[in-house]
Each structure stands twice: as C-alpha cells, then as structure tokens.
Amino acid sequence: MADHSLSQVRTPDRPQDTPAGRDAGEGISRRRLLGTAGATGLALGAAGGAVGYASAPAGATPLTSVGDNRVQFHVKHQPGITQPLQSRGHLVAFDLGPGAGRKEAAALLRRWSDTARRLMAGEPSAHGDTDVARDAGPSSLTLTFGFGHSFFGRTGLAKQRPVALDPLPDFSSDRLDRTRSNGDLWVQIGADDALVAFHALRAVQKDAGSAARVRWQMNGFNRSPGATSHPMTARNLMGQIDGTRNPRPADSDFDQRIFVPEQGEPAWMANGSYAVVRRIRMLLDDWENLSVKEQEQVIGRRKSDGAPLSGGSETSEMDLEKTDARGDLVVPFNAHARITRPDQNGGAAMLRRPFSYHDGIGTDGVPDAGLLFICWQADPLRGFVPVQRKLDRGDALTPFVRHEASGLFAVPGGAADGEYVGQALLEG
C-alpha cells in the first residue's frame, strides 16, 4: 500500500485545484450569494421576501477558500484524474435500462455532462435541483465518466471497444462479489464537502431516469484539506503513509504512462485513460495485532514518516540490497514497497487516486473498512495487471487484505466546450 497497489496521490492539503486556483472571473454564483447571506442570518424563505432563518449558527463564517475552489469541466483530460485527493467521494456504476441503446446512452451522457459542468461551477442542476448544496461553493467537485466492457455490446459499438478494455485476469487473492463489480457505465464523484458530493450523486442518479439503473454504489473519504499542520502524503486506514512513489504530472513520462495519446487507438479515446477500480477490504483486527516493527517489515517503510527501512526520509531512494548485521535484507524480499516498485515490474506504473471507506461494523465486531482503490493508466495490461500478478506471487501484505469487488473502465478525454463526454464514440 505504501508505494503502489493500495497507494494514493501525494497531495498537499490544498488551497488550489486548478493552476489559477479559484475561478475568479465567474462573478458571484447563486450558491456563493446564498452562502454569504446565510452567514449573516439573511436567507430568503420559499415564499419570497420572508426571512427563512432567524439567525446563522454560532460561529458561522462566509464561504471559505475550501468551498470556493473550482475545477474546470471542459479540459483536455477529464477532471478527477490529476486533481488532488478530495475529502469525500462516491463511486457508482450503472447498467443501461431495458430497451436503452446507443441513442439513449448519448442523451444520458449529454445530460450528465451538462449537470457536471453546472455543479462543478457551483450552479444548480438544470432540472429539479434538490437544493442540498445550495449554501456551498463548488468545493473542488469533480465528476468523471467511463464505459465498461459490456457497454459496447449493448449499444452496437462492439467494434469500437478498445483491446485495453479486455476483462482483467483472475487473481488468486480475489474474493469478488460480481454484483458489485463492472457495469456498463461508471461515474466517479469527488468533493471537499460531503453535501456537495452527495448532491452530485443524487443529480447523476436522477438524470439517469429510465435510461440506466444503478448496479452498485460505494462511498469513500480522505483527510480533509488543512487537517495537518503542513502538506504531507495521506495515510490509509492501516496508519501507513500511502502514495510516496506515485507518478507526478511534472514527470517527463507522466502523460505517456497515464493517458492515451492524441493519435492513439481507438481514436475516440484520445487523451483518455483507463481506470481500474477495486474494493479492497483491510483486515484491520489482524493488522493491528502486529507490532509496529512487524507492520513496517510487511510494508518496507517506517510507519512514523514513510521513510524506507534502508534509511533516509520519505522520498529517499530505497536501497534494495542493504543488509543488517546478520546479513538479512533490511527491506524484506516480500515487502509490499519492494514488490510494487516500477523497476521491479518492467517499468509498470499507474496513478493511484483512491478513497478510504468504512461501511459499518458487523455483528462479530469486525469493521468493514478498507480502500476504494482507483488507478489510472494508458493501458491496464502494462500498468495494473503486471503489478497485481507480482503481488499475487508473494506480497507480505496479502494476508491482511481482501479484494472484494473489481471493475475496469475506459474513460475518454475531456469534453470540449459545447460537447459532452464520449461524444466521439457515440456519434462517431
């Protein structure tokens, strides 16, 4: 987890989500105006001029920088891939409804794209907005849309299905629930406010109408912006610093590893990426029974600061050959951080951008918690698959995790202004 298969994007607790930070040129949105009014105790009631609330809650403040952060919808790569981790997330997969085909799918993606553009700008959805997030700004909201393997056969587009979307192979550690795996369509939602994220989830579901029905849905979270005294890599539910060696947009080969090139195949996937989604349960009771030293041996890094056991700081290069006084490897041969290194997997790399999850505590007192693992790559057969096969053959972390759901989705490039996501596929 600390380096690869259960890793997260290394991100500061941010004040920005786009190069320009806040979208200052848009004027004051309805939500921003209402948010400011609410802070002073002056919100209009449904009937018009009456005061809807006697006073603001104690300590209420105007819209903060966290709420004001806006991510653009019309971009080269869909939002929700390279942006910093958000504190709340929802993943939802849909299957096309009875009788729905290419025409209905195109209309749905047009509705979804319009809703995403509006909500990411801090505006209400076009039809039947629920007002759940009316007091908040965009809060770094992103919506990302993808197509599953089954989508193409159901829309008469089988010839347009990418080879890279072939089903993932079986892995020995899989304990997959097929009802919570795959799907015709996939939507990823992230935001730094729980109500903003839920509002988007509800809007997407309502937009689907009879064209598509929910197949499965999962909820996740990450650390909130500003929760730490200084920017740092996130921790997962095992307490490990998680995401140290994630590829970064500044890397010279980042685009080559993560995105389909503009002249790639198929043409409709230009500037897109492939998302592998895995629900990975952490067996926390077993993990927490280990001593800190034993946990560090499993991962290959110090728990306190994420530094490799071979020495240095979090970002120090791991010395895979270093031995102790007895001649034993300092970083064990089956340590998770060793096995997942790109140089131990033919250069295979992927951008991990997941959410933690907790779905309650069973009658046996065991928490149902872990990681909603999401990784991005230009080709999963050269990214996720070789690394997971290597982990299958002897990762020290395997006894403490269980892969319970899985999906693979083709995520096309971003929509140009006036277009919708997937238009090149559905109208090509």
Indicate which residues carry an active-site annotation: 242
Q: Are 368 and 359 in contact (CB under 8 A)?
A: yes
Distances in Å between the alpha carbon of 427 and those of 38, 110, 148, 411?
Answer: 44, 12, 18, 16
SS in 3 state form for the chain? CCCCCCCCCCCCCCCCCCCCCCCHHHCCCHHHHHHHHHHCCCCECCCCCCECCCCCCCCCCCCCHHHHCCCCCCCCCCCCCCCCCCCEEEEEEEEECCCCCHHHHHHHHHHHHHHHHHHHCCCCCCCCCCCCCCCCCCCCCEEEEEEEHHHHHHCCCHHHCCHHHCCCCCCCCECCCHHHCCCCEEEEEEECCHHHHHHHHHHHHHHHCCCEEEEEEEEEECCCCCCCCCCCCCECCCCCECCCCCCCCCCCCHHHHHCCCCCCCCHHHCCCEEEEEEEEEECHHHHHCCCHHHHHHHHCECCCCCCECCCCCCCCCCCCCCECCCCCECCCCCCHHHHCCHHHCCCCCCEECCEEEEEEECCCCCEEEEEEEEEEECCCCCCHHHHHHHHHCCCCCHHHEEEEEEEEEEECCCCCCCCCCCHHHHCC
Label residue 346 exposed, middle or buried (CB < 10 Å: 0-12, 13-18, 19+): exposed
